[in-house]
């Protein structure tokens, strides 16, 4: 099997020739630019600047030749704009906080405050606006800046007016950007391709503050947003209904652009779990999220051959039956360290209905703080559990962070290569 065939088999719950591996295809299955730089050096790959394509989390872009060298099976169609609204079409030198040769989008604008050491980034590269992102002195990624009022005037809320700039219908230039990417990668590589659209990222708190907007309106803080489910539920539904209408139009345009060249699409990254429990009740999930998920997933399954990929961190086992009811095909990152997320239970109970894309390596403790042998053992255990009868794409739990010891990353890759018969 080649990579494309291998991933498609796994997504269809068939046993591939070996477990497929993803690193870097999405904004939630990637690797920090600093960790990627160190990994490339450890693997003796040619020296070159790292493209920081996902600016918020400072993720490094893994080029096709590097993906081949690392035995990666999946490649992502990158987003047209980053979190700040900068177009990922042209690149310029980027002076990072962590001192590696890097590139960032040409129209990404940032400023380092010499007194505080903080780095501020501006929406759409407009320095006349208030900055929308901040990186602390010595930090490794940006945080959103909440630019909405501390207390929201519920009487003055209008879901469409407040969110019309957050959710827009894709233009011809954007569609062409995706079309060219998909054509080039499909024709010139054998990677399985995944789209990064997040058309169903209802309530995603990473997007909620509107880092790409010059003047965000409405409810934009995580705290106010969660409370709004009880205080002004009609507003939440109004935002979601507008997002749904735009999302369905964008799905149609995206499908026209990339066709069946992709095998899966990232639909959303809303987190519903904390380390120990759900972030909202199951009743609220079924009231506010399930109906909209059903509609978008039905459109995908009716009109395409794609599988739908949803990300949610935390202790979400209680919601998994609802994910399945909604038509979700793939869950990520499979945070096995969270309460109730035992990998054996997940595979036995849901493995015939869901693909586990993640769960291969704990990035909270084992990968950053364990020994190389502990890393190797976890790789063996997770492949044994999740890899049985297909339905598994090996990926660490969420992104590999900046200061993860490179010897542990290498141990993970070496052990995976050995298991897959590539060592």
248: nearest Cα among 192, 172, 304? 304
Output the CATH code of domain 3-34+71-80+147-419. 3.20.20.210
Report, as an integer, the average pLDDT of 347-369.
Answer: 98
Residue 154, pLDDT > 80, answer: no
The pLDDT assigned to 152 comes to 65
Q: What is the pLDDT of residues 215-274, one digit of tens each?
A: 999 999 999 999 999 999 999 999 999 999 999 999 999 999 999 999 999 999 999 999
Q: What is the pLDDT of residues 128-142, one digit of tens each?
A: 999 999 999 999 999
Dihedrals phi, psi of 134, to nearest 5 degrees = -140, 140
Q: Who wins on pLDDT, 146 or 300?
A: 300
Report, as an integer, the average pLDDT of 365-373.
Answer: 98
Residue 147, pLDDT > 70, answer: yes
The pLDDT assigned to 423 comes to 84
- Contact residues for 404 (Cβ-Cβ < 8 A; gap 6+): 32, 35, 363, 367, 368
The pLDDT assigned to 150 comes to 61
Tracing tokens 């505080």 back to the chain, one arrives at 116
Residue 153, pLDDT > 90, answer: no
How far is residue 130 from each of residues 39, 40, 107, 161, 330, measured CA to CA in Å?
36, 36, 16, 20, 38
106: nearest Cα among 123, 94, 122? 94
Residue 21, pLDDT > 90, answer: yes
Residue 149, pLDDT > 90, answer: no
3-state SS, one letter per residue, for 328-396: CCEEECCCCCCCCCCHHHHHHHHCCCCEEECCCECCCCHHHHCCHHHHHHHHHHHHHHHCCCCCEEECE
Query: How many of the other CB atoms lie within 10 Å of CB of 185?
Result: 20
The pLDDT assigned to 218 comes to 93
The pLDDT assigned to 156 comes to 85
List the chain domain ranges: 3-34+71-80+147-419
**Per-chain mean pLDDT for the chain:** 96
Q: What is the pLDDT of residues 261-297, one digit of tens each?
A: 999 999 999 999 999 999 999 999 999 999 999 999 9
Q: What is the pLDDT of residues 67-104, one digit of tens each?
A: 999 999 999 999 999 999 999 999 999 999 999 999 99
């Amino acid at each position: 099997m080649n990579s494309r065939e291998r991933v498609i088999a796994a997504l269809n719950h068939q046993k591939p020739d070996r477990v497929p591996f993803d690193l870097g295809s999405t904004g939630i299955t990637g690797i920090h630019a600093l960790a990627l730089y160190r990994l490339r050096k450890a693997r003796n790959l040619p020296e070159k600047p790292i493209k920081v394509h996902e600016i918020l989390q400072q993720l490094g872009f893994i080029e096709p030749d590097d993906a081949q060298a690392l035995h990666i099976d999946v490649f992502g169609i990158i987003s047209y704009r980053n979190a700040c609204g900068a177009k990922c079409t042209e690149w310029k030198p980027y002076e990072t906080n962590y001192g590696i040769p890097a590139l960032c989008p040409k129209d990404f604008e940032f400023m380092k405050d010499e007194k505080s050491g903080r780095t501020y980034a501006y929406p759409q590269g407009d320095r006349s606006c208030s900055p929308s992102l901040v990186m602390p002195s010595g930090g490794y990624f940006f945080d959103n800046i909440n630019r909405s009022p501390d207390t929201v005037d519920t009487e003055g809320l209008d879901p469409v007016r407040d969110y019309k700039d957050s959710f827009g219908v894709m233009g011809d230039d954007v569609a062409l950007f995706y079309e060219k990417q998909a054509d080039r990668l499909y024709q010139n590589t054998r990677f399985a391709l995944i789209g990064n659209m997040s058309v169903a990222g209802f309530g995603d708190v990473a997007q909620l503050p509107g880092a790409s907007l010059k003047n965000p309106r409405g409810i934009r803080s995580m705290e106010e947003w969660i409370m709004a489910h009880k205080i002004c539920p009609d507003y939440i539904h109004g935002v979601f209904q507008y997002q749904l209408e735009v999302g369905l139009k964008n799905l149609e345009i995206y499908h026209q652009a990339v066709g069946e060249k992709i095998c899966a699409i990232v639909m959303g990254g809303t987190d519903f779990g904390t380390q120990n429990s759900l972030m909202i009740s199951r009743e609220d999930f079924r009231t506010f999220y399930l109906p909209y998920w059903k509609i978008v997933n039905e459109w995908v399954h009716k009109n395409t051959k794609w599988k739908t990929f949803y990300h949610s961190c935390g202790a979400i086992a209680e919601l998994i039956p609802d994910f399945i009811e909604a038509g979700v095909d793939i869950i990520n990152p499979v945070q096995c360290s969270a309460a109730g997320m035992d990998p054996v239970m997940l595979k036995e109970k849901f493995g015939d209905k869901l693909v586990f894309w993640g769960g291969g390596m704990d990035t909270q403790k084992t990968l950053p703080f364990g020994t190389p042998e502990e890393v190797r053992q976890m790789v063996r255990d997770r492949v044994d559990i999740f890899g049985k009868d297909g339905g598994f794409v090996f990926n660490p739990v969420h992104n590999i962070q900046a200061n993860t010891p490179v010897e542990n990353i290498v141990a993970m890759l070496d052990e995976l290569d050995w298991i897959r018969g590539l060592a």
